[in-house]
Amino acid sequence: MLQIRPTCENCNKALPFDAEDAMICTFECTFCKDCVEKLKEVCPNCGGGFEKRPIRSEHLLEKYPVSKVIVHKPVDFETHYRDMKKGD
């Protein structure tokens, strides 16, 4: 079951369960679309790519609530870009 984290890890923007701009990697690192573009579509935590986070149906929220855990780890973009080049 997806955690559906409530905010972007980089900018801390609210990403409610029905956010159209929420993106996740395979480890559920969660970022908003704007930050994913700045990250050049590469997760700074695992190096994987991103996909649009699915929207959980509202009628399932009571049985399967979204996470309340906020992960806020602003990205050092200079380091991220340098690390990306090492992988080339």
Is 16 among the domain residues? no
Domain residues for 37? Answer: 22-86
Any residues with CB less than 8 A from the CB of 64 and at least 6 apart, and which? 1, 56
d(CA 26, CA 59): 25
Q: Is the pLDDT of residue 88 over 80?
A: no
Is 4 among the domain residues? no
DSSP state, residue 54: P
Is 46 among the domain residues? yes
- What is the pLDDT, as a whole number, of residue 86? 82
pLDDT, tens digit (0-9, with 9 covering 90-100), for 17-69: 999 999 999 999 999 999 999 999 999 999 999 999 999 999 999 999 999 99
